Amino acid sequence: MKRREEMTFLERIYILEVLRGIGITGSRLLRNLFFHLLHLVGMARGVRAAASIQYPNERRVYPSRFRGRHRLTLYANGNVRCTSCFLCATACPARCIYIEAVEADDPHVEKFPHRYEIDTLLCIYCGYCVEACPVDAIRMDTGLHPEVYPPDPRLFIEDKETLMARSRELDDSGVDTLFERHMKRMQDLERRPGV
């Protein structure tokens, strides 16, 4: 952006610049319309009509370090790794982790979470909870972004079972399949909202 004192007289009176802006926006609009029409008749498929991603029909590939939806990691026997130390909840700047700890029968485990919930509407996906965890019990490596319109708004609060099930699904199917299922769910919801 130019400072006012660097502008020429024509730039300072704005009219030409406004017309130039309308010209740029208009030409982009016409170009995108033209390619959208070609796509409709099956032509020029290799040329993007616009920079926007047609979510949920089109996938944007996220970088490997993308901080996605959370999961609670598990031991080989399927038990949750979390020891209810509350460090993640303490580190969380959004105060969106709720834990209820109970004593474990296993003498090697002092406590485990009877209840572990993340309110994803409050979460800012900063990853501090993952950094704070001393036993690698919570991760954000699922490659999934939050569902923008789940069928039931209560699903925005992810409970322990959901977070554990995501770990099992990731182990069984891998990141790509997880994302494909997510896209399929979003496509179904868009076709039949509220179902």
Tokens matching residue 99: 């834990």
What is the enclosing helix (H) or strand (E) of 101? strand 97-103
Residue located via tokens 């944007």: 60
Q: Is 35 or 156 the residue whose CB approaches ligand SF4 more closely?
A: 156
Query: Using a CB cutoff of 8 Å and minimum separation of 24, what contacts does 150-158 make?
Result: 150/189, 151/189, 151/194, 151/195, 156/119, 156/120, 156/121, 157/117, 157/118, 157/119, 157/120, 157/121, 158/69, 158/70, 158/117, 158/118, 158/120
Interface with ligand SF4 by CB under 6 A: which range of 34-42, 52-60, 95-103, 156-164?
A: 95-103
127 binds ligand SF4 (CB under 6 A): yes
157, 118 contact by CB (below 8 A): yes
Taking CB under 6 A as the criterion, the residue among 56, 68, 71, 87 binding ligand SF4 is 87
124 binds ligand SF4 (CB under 6 A): yes
Q: Is 73 or 179 the residue whose CB approaches ligand SF4 more closely?
A: 73
Taking CB under 6 A as the criterion, the residue among 83, 143, 163, 166 binding ligand SF4 is 83
Taking CB under 6 A as the criterion, the residue among 68, 69, 71, 123 binding ligand SF4 is 123
Taking CB under 6 A as the criterion, the residue among 69, 118, 142, 170 binding ligand SF4 is 118
Binding residues among 134-163 for ligand SF4 as defined by CB under 6 A: 135, 137-138
Taking CB under 6 A as the criterion, the residue among 56, 69, 71, 133 binding ligand SF4 is 133
Alpha helix locations (H) across the chain? 9-12, 15-40, 87-91, 128-132, 160-173, 175-191
Residue ranges in contact with ligand SF4 by CB under 6 A: 82-88, 91-94, 96-97, 99, 118, 123-129, 132-133, 135, 137-138
